[in-house]
């Protein structure tokens, strides 16, 4: 170990015990630990990278002892339970799982002394503390907190104090699956769920697909990874959102004035068969792809999306969202607005709000700012107050007896429409 700029840098041959807040469970090795109890239970630790990659499953061990030399030259014995044992003879690093220590009551402050731990100016202690009051300080080399350790001899176990870091009881941070085999038979419920994820093919096509795409795959990594990770990153975006067996039409609607929150337009997404309309407020036309993806994640992905030939709706960003979620794209004929279903739905939505303003008593009481009342004449108050009403009602569903059956999605902000007379 050498000191450079007040930092203790470990040598390449030095055995160290790293504090790793991203580790799911502690990992020890035979070079720096004296293992007393072996359980005979092995786990396949998937997702490891770098030097922690192992070619064989790791055994779960208890009572693993290591001799630690603290920065003040004090020596203590650490006892680690419920840890994985890496039998690689060249392994020089061991991992302390921060969450596993904290689960046992150990206070872990892995913030370096030179860094602020809180906004009040308190700096980190760079140490661990036991409920009995024992405090052990980390080494810090500018990148990581670690302990300098080595394998103790049986005589040293009786010579130095022993600090237990983890509980000997089974530690289960996540559900483990010891063995999982892909199912060869699928129930009607399973087929229905997969059918929705795959874009609503027929029932027979879905069942045949499941039977043929899994016959050569005995297991899946997500199901056979015996020690599950604390995080999951999806690789198939099309299966993530819920699917709507419908065709979506979308168009941009503009306002003659800007709302108090800076919105100048909104993007209307109209599902034709279900009559479900979603409105996303925007400040720029370039925000249409983002509004499109928000609609997919919040409400559902359609089978097909139809747009006009606006630049922002046929650009690469909008098409990439459709490709990511496996949505077929289509476009209307230029100068044929009647082919876009959302054009009429946007008019119906405006008419519904105007109707609401004429039938609702006490509309002016909902308008909190008198500035618009003083500036704009009464005939323009409708445009200012339209989405003020929506912000209060959150959803407008007009009965079939007055305006036809139209259901509109949740609206979260305020935006005035075009001037109405």
Q: H/E element holding 351? A: helix 341-359
Position 124 confidence tier, pLDDT thresholds 50, 70, 90: confident
**CB within 8 Å of 63: residues ≥ 6 apart:** 35, 36, 37, 79, 81, 168
pLDDT for the residue 149? 92
C-beta separation of 342 from 279 below 8 A: no
Across 408-417, average pLDDT:
39
Exposed e or buried b per residue across 287-305, where buried means at least 16 C-beta atoms within 10 angstroms of its C-beta = bbbbbbbbbbeebbbbeeb
Pairing mode of beta strands 127-129, 34-43 = unpaired
Arithmetic mean of pLDDT over the chain: 76
Q: Which two tokens stand for residue 38?
A: 């072996």
- Number of Cβ atoms within 10 Å of the Cβ of 389: 18
Position 67 confidence tier, pLDDT thresholds 50, 70, 90: very high
Q: Which two tokens stand for residue 413?
A: 């902000």
Higher pLDDT residue, 271 or 214?
Answer: 271
**Domains by residue range for the chain, with CATH:** 2-164 (no CATH), 247-408 (3.30.420.10)
Residue 108 has φ and ψ, to the nearest 5°, of -110, 115
Across 354-381, average pLDDT:
48
8-state DSSP, 182: -
Rounded-to-integer distance, Cα 164 and Cα 19, Å: 16
Position 92 confidence tier, pLDDT thresholds 50, 70, 90: confident
- State how far Cα 3 lies from the chain centre: 40
**CB within 8 Å of 146: residues ≥ 6 apart:** 10, 16, 17, 18, 19, 138, 139, 140
Asked which of 288-297, 318-327, 380-389 is least confident by mean pLDDT, the reply is 380-389
For residue 78, list its beta bridge partners. 66, 163
Higher pLDDT residue, 225 or 367?
Answer: 225
Torsion on CA atoms 307, 309, 314, 315, rounded to nearest 10: -140
For residue 301, list its beta bridge partners. 243
**CB within 8 Å of 150: residues ≥ 6 apart:** 15, 32, 66, 67, 69
Express each pLDDT in 320-350 by its tens digit: 999 988 899 999 998 888 899 999 998 888 8
For residue 140, list its beta bridge partners. 145
C-beta separation of 416 from 383 below 8 A: yes
Exposed e or buried b per residue across 373-387, where buried means at least 16 C-beta atoms within 10 angstroms of its C-beta = eeebeeebbbbbbbb
User: What's the distance, Cα to Cα, between the start and end of the chain in Å?
Assistant: 81
């Amino acid at each position: 170990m050498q000191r450079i700029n007040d930092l203790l840098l470990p040598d390449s041959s030095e055995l160290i015990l790293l504090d790793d807040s991203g580790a799911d469970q502690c990992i020890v090795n035979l070079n720096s630990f004296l293992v007393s109890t072996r359980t005979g239970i092995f786990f396949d630790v998937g997702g490891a990278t770098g030097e922690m990659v192992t070619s064989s499953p790791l055994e779960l061990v208890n009572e693993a002892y290591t001799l630690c030399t603290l920065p003040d030259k004090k020596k203590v014995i650490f006892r680690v339970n419920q840890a994985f044992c890496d039998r690689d003879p060249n392994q020089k690093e061991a991992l302390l799982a921060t969450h596993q220590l904290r689960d046992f009551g150990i206070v872990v402050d892995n913030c370096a002394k030179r860094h602020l731990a809180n906004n009040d100016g308190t700096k980190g202690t760079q140490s661990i503390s036991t409920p009995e009051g024992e405090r052990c300080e980390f080494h810090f080399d500018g990148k990581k907190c670690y302990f300098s350790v080595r394998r103790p001899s049986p005589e040293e176990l009786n010579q130095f104090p022993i600090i237990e870091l983890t509980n000997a009881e089974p530690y289960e941070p996540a559900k483990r699956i010891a063995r999982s085999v892909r199912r060869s038979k699928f129930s009607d419920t399973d087929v229905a769920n997969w059918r929705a994820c795959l874009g609503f093919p027929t029932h027979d096509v879905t069942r045949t697909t499941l039977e043929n795409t899994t016959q050569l795959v005995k297991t899946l990594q997500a199901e056979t990874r015996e020690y599950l990770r604390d995080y999951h990153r999806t690789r198939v975006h099309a299966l993530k959102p819920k699917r709507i067996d419908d065709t979506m039409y979308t168009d941009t609607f503009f306002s003659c004035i800007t709302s108090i929150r800076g919105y100048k337009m909104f993007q209307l997404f109209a599902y034709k068969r279900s009559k479900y309309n979603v409105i996303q407020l925007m400040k720029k036309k370039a925000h249409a792809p983002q509004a499109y993806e928000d609609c997919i994640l919040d409400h559902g992905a359609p089978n097909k999306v139809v747009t006009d030939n606006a630049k922002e709706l046929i650009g690469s960003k909008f098409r990439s969202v459709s490709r990511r979620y496996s949505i077929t794209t289509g476009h209307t004929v230029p100068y044929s607005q009647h082919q876009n279903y959302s054009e009429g739905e946007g008019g119906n939505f405006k008419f519904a709000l105007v109707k609401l303003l004429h039938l609702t008593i006490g509309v002016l009481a909902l308008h909190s700012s008198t500035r618009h009342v003083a500036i704009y004449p009464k005939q323009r108050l409708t445009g200012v107050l339209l989405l003020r009403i929506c912000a209060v009602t959150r959803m407008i569903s007009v009965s079939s007896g007055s305006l036809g059956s139209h259901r509109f999605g949740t609206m979260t902000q305020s935006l005035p429409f075009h001037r109405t007379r």
